[in-house]
């Protein structure tokens, strides 16, 4: 019996449709500003997709494309201006930044009420105590995929592979909030295979192409692949060996077309929530 494939394209389209319907009733449109520094090709693709997403749901959006040599002072000055502009509800600085810019300082300069990536320490802390305004887009997207696929987290053994501040840690918090019993694994975990095999819900965000094979999977488990890698032929793939694992798992997300589309849908959700917090109706 092959696993149910969780289609992120279909679910993200549903989320975007819900947002679009809300925006149509609003007199003031939510506004998103995206800042990109330098010429990183992957970053440029992400930014274009975010622009397209905004257009589709009826948001106001602007992109600030800055040259590689932009100084920290110039970048912080732009963020300060965006912080005070009322038509801008969300500010997103595309990471990674060029090496001469201090990522931490830049993130900390964004007004927490406009931090739609939820990377600011204030928002990270709010997630920790379960009283948050925004959720990081990828973990929030994973939760929505589980919910829409009728996969109940409560009481389940949930294993998260990866402990980044962007995915692994907040993902663990969100699963915990839904009453999952959560284990976080990483490069120093003693027996990764044994830990993964205990998971009813396995979320993989480690950045190693097709590393998780079928012998890591508990039969019937839900497997969520957050990885975005390239295989030996340069083809896009995830951290999970999809073809092998789908024969053992109960549900699985593909790469591409699984978690990826949800990330932008959740960014749009955060921007809409920010606009409402700013009194837009």
Of 90, 140, 139, 84, whose CA–CA distance to 116 is shortest?
90
Of 276, 279, 274, whose CA–CA distance to 114 is shortest?
274
Residues 6+ apart with CB under 8 A from 19: 57, 265, 268, 269, 272
Active-site position among 94, 114, 156, 200? 94
* b/e per residue 64-74 (b: at least 16 CB within 10 A): bebeeebeeee
Count of other CB atoms within 10 angstroms of residue 82: 20
Q: Does residue 218 have an active-site annotation?
A: no
- Quote the distance between the C-alpha of residue 144 and its chain's center: 11
Q: Does residue 94 have an active-site annotation?
A: yes
Give yes or no for a contact between 102 and 72, defined as CB atoms under 8 angstroms apart. Answer: yes
Active-site position among 89, 114, 115, 117? 117
d(CA 260, CA 253): 10
d(CA 209, CA 97): 24
**Where do the DSSP E strands lie in 74-233?**
90-93, 157-161, 181-185, 201-204, 222-225, 229-230
d(CA 246, CA 252): 7
What are the catalytic residues? 50, 94, 117
């Amino acid at each position: 019996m092959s696993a149910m494939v969780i289609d992120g394209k279909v679910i993200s389209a549903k989320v975007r449709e819900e947002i679009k319907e809300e925006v149509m009733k609003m007199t003031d449109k939510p506004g998103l500003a995206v800042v990109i520094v330098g010429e990183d090709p992957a970053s440029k693709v992400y930014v274009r997709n975010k622009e397209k997403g905004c257009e589709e749901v009826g948001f106001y959006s602007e992109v600030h494309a800055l040259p590689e040599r932009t100084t920290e002072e110039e970048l912080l000055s732009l963020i300060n201006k965006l912080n005070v502009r009322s038509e801008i509800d969300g500010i997103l600085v595309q990471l990674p930044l060029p090496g001469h810019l201090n990522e931490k300082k830049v993130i900390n300069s964004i007004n927490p009420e406009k931090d739609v990536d939820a990377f600011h320490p204030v928002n990270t802390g709010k997630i920790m105590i379960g009283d948050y305004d925004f959720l990081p887009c990828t973990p929030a997207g994973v939760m929505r995929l589980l919910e829409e696929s009728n996969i109940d987290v409560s009481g389940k053994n949930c294993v998260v592979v990866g402990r980044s501040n962007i995915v692994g840690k907040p993902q663990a918090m969100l699963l915990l909030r839904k009453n999952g019993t959560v284990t976080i694994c990483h490069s120093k975990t003693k027996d990764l295979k044994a830990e993964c095999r205990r998971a009813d819900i396995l979320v993989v965000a480690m950045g190693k192409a097709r590393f998780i094979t079928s012998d890591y999977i508990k039969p019937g488990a839900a497997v969520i692949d957050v990885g975005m890698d390239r295989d030996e032929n340069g083809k896009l793939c995830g951290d999970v060996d999809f073809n092998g694992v789908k024969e053992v798992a109960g549900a699985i997300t593909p790469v591409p077309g699984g978690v990826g589309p949800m990330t932008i849908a959740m960014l749009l959700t955060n921007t809409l929530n920010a606009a409402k917090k700013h009194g837009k109706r």
